[in-house]
Amino acid sequence: MANLLLNLQDISLTFGGRPVLSGAELMLHDDDRMCLVGRNGSGKSTLLKIAAGLVEQDAGARFLQPGTTLRYLPQEPDFTGFGTVLDYVEAGLGPTDDPYRARHYLTELGLTGEENPATLSGGEARRAALARTLAPEPDILLLDEPTNHLDLPAIEWLEAELKSLRSAFILISHDRRFLERLSNRTVWLDRGETRRLGQGFAAFEEWRDKLLEEEEINQQKLAQRIATEEHWMRYGVTARRKRNMRRVGLLASLRKERKDYVGQQGQVKLAASSGELSGKLVFEAHKISKSFGERAIVSNLDLLVLRGDRLAIVGPNGAGKTTLIKLITGALDQDAGEIKHGTNLQVVSLDQSRASLNPDDMVQDVITAGRGQQVTVNGETKHVVTYMRDFLFRPEQARTPVSVLSGGERARLILARELAKPSNFLVLDEPTNDLDLETLDLLQELLVDYPGTVLLVSHDRDFLDKLATSVLMHEGGGKWLEYAGGYTDMLAQRGKGVEARKVEAAPKPKAEAKPAAAPEPAKVKRKLSFKEKFALESLPKRMEELKAELARLEQELADPALFARDAARFTKTSTRQAEASLELSAAEDQWLELELLREELEG
């Protein structure tokens, strides 16, 4: 039977007079892999901080099982007082934790540990925070947007690592694929209250829609009851005053129930201003190359983009995706080769880095570029406040400075500004950052119906699968290859995903560099942990099983008539072949790493 580790009961919290949480409940057992979902601003991060003991609720109770270890991953880690990343990660270890795990996780996440925290990029800061959170292998992990700023190799590594851990966890993320593969429980935070589903995220949206439909039906029934009571008040028999007063009280209570009903939160209404039709040819490259010093970013690339294409550019951070976008849009000249751009192109770029937002500008001035209070979208002129409502901004926010907006609000503001501009070629660099799931759905629908061409950079695998018509994949050394279909199709054709970035572990600091009062754990001979021993013993069998499965799948795919006979079976088999290949590669790497570690420890 599962043991209860953490329990939040009847949690209420108010910020600035506005209720954020109202009677919220949260129970975490030792076998729970829970995702916490809800709209931006619904209070998910606040509830997670209460669970971590970092925020005090106004009412309700928090219970943590005595002796339970807990680690919390914040969205914005605090590196104050740490000279190196390794210092920061080691500070999160407990007295009995293995110090080797700090260096292990840093290496896995592409860091040496010697980096200065003050100079870290957003992705590096997220990797350091993940290493600090995972290294102790606590009983409970509370993870707030762990995939933010991570590239695909890091996301897929994190996914596999969380699957292998024994820790129970609560996860907040807007990455659908990540949630589907990791969660076995779902808690929906809606209008300050929590609702629990005993299944993972894959079943959530159908369940949520059913609940909302039932709410609407109940509200319709309530409206009918009120209409019936109001009719009786006007025309009913009034012989017994006592009975009449009971009916009056009933009507008042029904009216109050309807007034207190909050209803669903507003929906973003996305519409893009379409420009004139571009020529059939949008972009053509022949043998183009681009290097910075000795480093080749693009080498001998041939690429053809036609009107209506949805081309996704995929690769690890630092591969040169932004440089490639600049070459395609003409913002940067190539070193060699020929580039031809189509006619009548109207390019609009969504700058999700938010560097183009001035923190001192007012929201309405960002949307209208400071020109009055009108916005024209597809020939229809709207007042800026009306247009803002389509993106879930309140009227009073029109004169609000950008600096006070949340990350999700800034993402919606950029969408509102850029989608109002006429275009036939949209360039989207990480458009899904900080958008909630409902807004992502609407953005996806808009882009599917968009009459122009889309160039997309994203680490969201679900978004890529649903939108991309082809994927331009980084193969290393300046080489890029185009694959038909979305991300999963690319995996099936390529046989593997984006390789995880690794670095050599930094040498251990000399003893004299450590504080004099520090203990000397290095003198104690480390042994393989129980988990490491189990993995070392069980991985060979797993590798053999995967090899046998791959052989069977390859034999099945060798049938030239399979696709014509059963296209769905062909797709399913191809996808499983790619997944099994990735699993085998990961198992082999893990076994080799553990075997080398065993040899090192045994002398």
Average confidence (pLDDT) over 512-521: 44
Query: What is the percentage of the chain residues whose pLDDT exceeds 70?
Result: 82
Q: How confident is the model at residue 115 (pLDDT cuts 50, 70, 90)?
A: very high
Contact 159/186 with Cβ under 8 angstroms? no
CA atoms within 13 A on the CB side of 145: 23
Alpha carbons 124 and 313: distance in angstroms, whole number? 21
Q: How far apart are alpha carbons 177 and 505 in whole angstroms?
A: 30
pLDDT for position 513: 44
| 516: Cβ contacts below 8 Å, ≥ 6 apart | none
Judge residue 292's burial from the number of C-beta atoms within 10 Å of its C-beta, 0-12 exposed, 13-18 middle, 19 or more buried.
Answer: exposed
For the stretch 324-348, pLDDT in tens is 998 998 888 999 999 999 888 888 8
526-601: which CATH topology? Helix Hairpins (1.10.287)
CB 463 within 8 A of CB 440: yes
Q: Which residue has the tokens 């975490």?
A: 28
Only one residue has tokens 């030792």, namely 30
pLDDT at 249 over 70: no
pLDDT at 514: 44
Strand ranges (DSSP E) for 211-329? 281-292, 295-306, 310-314
- Residue recorded with tokens 């570029």: 369
- Summarize the confidence of residues 176-184 as an average pLDDT: 94
Residues near 5 by Cβ (< 8 Å), separated by ≥ 6?
Answer: 28, 29, 30, 64, 65, 68, 139, 140, 168
d(CA 258, CA 54): 36
Torsion angle of C-alpha atoms 147, 150, 156, 158, degrees rounded to 10 = -60
Higher pLDDT, 354 or 118: 118
Q: Give me Rg for the CA atoms of the chain.
A: 28
Q: Give the Cβ contact number of residue 449 at 10 Å.
A: 9
Phi, psi of 516 (to 5 degrees): -60, -30
pLDDT at res. 364: 87
pLDDT at 413 over 70: yes
Average pLDDT score over residue span 513-527 = 46
Within 285-362, where are the H helices?
321-329
Buried b (16+ CB within 10 A) or exposed e, 224-259: eebeebeebeeeeeeeeeeeeeeeeeebeebeeeee
For range 64-76, the mean pLDDT:
93
Amino acid at 533: K
Give the model's pLDDT for residue 518.
44
User: What is the longest distance spanned by two Cα atoms in the chain?
Assistant: 100
Q: Which residue spans within 307-411 are E strands per DSSP?
A: 310-314, 336-341, 347-351, 374-377, 380-383
The gap from C-alpha 444 to its chain's centroid, in whole angstroms, comes to: 15
- pLDDT greater at residue 339 or residue 373: 339
Rounding to the nearest 10 degrees, give the CA dihedral for residues 596, 598, 600, 602.
-150
Residue 222 has pLDDT above 70, yes or no: no
CB 505 within 8 A of CB 112: yes
Token duo for residue 263: 């209803």
Q: List pLDDT tens digits, range 290-332.
A: 998 888 999 999 999 999 999 999 988 888 888 899 899 888 8
- Return d(Cα 172, Cα 175) in angstroms, integer: 9
Is 526-601 in the same CATH topology as 281-493?
no
Q: Where are the domains of the chain?
A: 207-260, 281-493, 526-601
Lowest mean pLDDT among 93-97, 199-203, 441-445, 497-501: 497-501
**pLDDT tens digits, residue range 548-602?**
888 888 788 777 777 778 877 877 887 787 778 778 777 777 776 777 677 666 6
Higher pLDDT, 413 or 126: 126
pTM of the prediction? 0.69
The domain 281-493 having CATH identifier 3.40.50.720: the answer here is no
Mean pLDDT, the chain, rounded, equals: 82
Least confident of 237-241, 291-295, 408-412, 467-471: 237-241
Which whole number is the average pLDDT over 370-377? 80
Residue 93 binned pLDDT confidence (cut-offs 50, 70, 90): very high
Tell me the C-alpha distance between 343 and 307, whole Å: 11
Output b/e per residue, 472-497; b: 16+ Cβ within 10 A: bbbeeebebebbebbbbbbbbebeeb
pLDDT digit string (tens) for 252-273?
665 565 555 544 455 556 666 6
* Structural tokens at position 167: 């820790």
pLDDT at 42 (0 to 100): 79
The 10s digit of each residue's pLDDT in 467-486 is 999 999 998 889 999 999 99
For position 374, what pLDDT does the model report? 84
